[in-house]
Amino acid sequence: MTTVENTGKIKKIAVLTSGGDAPGMNAVIRAVVRTAKHFGLEVLGVKRGYDGLLSGDVFDMHEKSVSDIIHKGGTILLTARSSEMRTEEGQKKAANICNILGIDALVVIGGDGSITGGLKLARLGVNVIGIPATIDLDLDCSEYTIGFDTAVNTAMEAINKIRDTSFSHERCSVVEVMGRNSGEIALWCAMTCGAEEVLIPENPIEHDIIIAEIFKNRAKGKRHHLVIVAEGSGHTEEFAKKIEQVTGIETRASILGYLQRGGSPTAMDRRLGSLMGYKAVESLINGEKNRIVVIKNNDYKTIDIEEGLNQESTYSNKTYDIIKILSV
């Protein structure tokens, strides 16, 4: 049994999900609500992220409000990308609403943009704790963001199927996976599906170089080809057409899109979502202010929200290099 005690400083929290939905968000919500109730807190659920906060769309949550959700994709709280929250006026209004509602702390479940919104509120005096949840795995302060594992496995399974048809027709398949500014899904898919090439925003490569390599590999006897493109690198359809034109190899493009954002979360997303949700409330009960829950060295902890959001990317080409060595 836990030894944490509620000192009584925090009485009411609110929880919202914001930005792109991610599988496992429901496990986080469940853990936040149930841990908070365990410690005797009031919990408000905020609908549609910051948009719901700005319009006061909140409701009381209890242990039973989160029954039967741990296995479900999406977010029961709904989500949005709020343009109003990007303005100073919107941020002040949101902070004011938190005061009016008597919210002692706001739990923000989302990606970089959503937690940055939380930081703006923190600067206006609202106690905020962020929980990284995005399929993109693009928060540099945390080794993991909820939703990534499910998304990668969904994409990998889809690519396995594309590989079967690519093999049968001796074609080149160019598959675009999600990730506007981040190549993590693409890198993982490339490695786990044995792709020949991967294009990511962090490591831009000229299309002509990749095309020359495909041509060379075909000449060496390779009968089908797989290229993974991160959404942020773009132009997937045009790229596929160009490969066909230049090499004469039949080439097809597939854009996996939103199927990567849905589906029942994997055990990893449910487990880490539960632990991170618990940790957020424990941190608030312990009197911590303006934190972000992160995974570091396989352990979960909290760090200062501003420090977390300012961390530099640790991207290195190592994974890319290994993919290339293994794909020969």
Smallest separation (angstroms) from ligand F6P to the CB of 177 = 8
Beta bridge partners of 304: 291
How many C-alpha atoms does 50 have within 13 Å on its Cβ side? Answer: 29
Which residue, 179 or 277, is less far from ligand F6P as judged by CB? 179
Q: How far is CA 261 from CA 112, 139, 258, 278, in A?
A: 16, 17, 5, 23
Which residues have a catalytic role annotated?
A: 136
Structure tokens, 327 = 């794909």
Beta bridge partners of 251: 172
Give the footprint of ligand F6P on this chain (CB under 6 A). 19-20, 81, 111, 134-136, 178-180, 231, 261
Give the residue nearest to ligand F6P (CB).
Answer: 20
Which residue, 53 or 137, is less far from ligand F6P as judged by CB? 137
Smallest separation (angstroms) from ligand F6P to the CB of 282 = 27
Which residue, 180 or 223, is less far from ligand F6P as judged by CB? 180
Smallest separation (angstroms) from ligand F6P to the CB of 22 = 7
Which residue, 109 or 178, is less far from ligand F6P as judged by CB? 178
Smallest separation (angstroms) from ligand F6P to the CB of 247 = 29
Residues with Cβ < 8 Å from 195, sequence gap 6 or more? 189, 226, 227, 228, 323, 327
Smallest separation (angstroms) from ligand F6P to the CB of 261 = 6
Which residue, 218 or 235, is less far from ligand F6P as judged by CB? 235
Which residue, 36 or 185, is less far from ligand F6P as judged by CB? 185
Q: Using CA atoms, how far apart are residues 111 and 91, in angstroms rounded to an integer? A: 17
How many C-alpha atoms does 105 have within 13 Å on its Cβ side? Answer: 27
Smallest separation (angstroms) from ligand F6P to the CB of 230 = 9
How many C-alpha atoms does 48 have within 13 Å on its Cβ side? Answer: 11
Q: How far is CA 202 from CA 10, 75, 96, 108, 296, in A?
A: 41, 29, 39, 27, 22
With residues binned 3-state (H G I as helix, E B as strand, rest as coil), the percentages for the chain, rounded to 5, are 45, 20, 35
Q: Using CA atoms, how far apart are residues 122 and 14, in angstroms rounded to an integer? A: 14
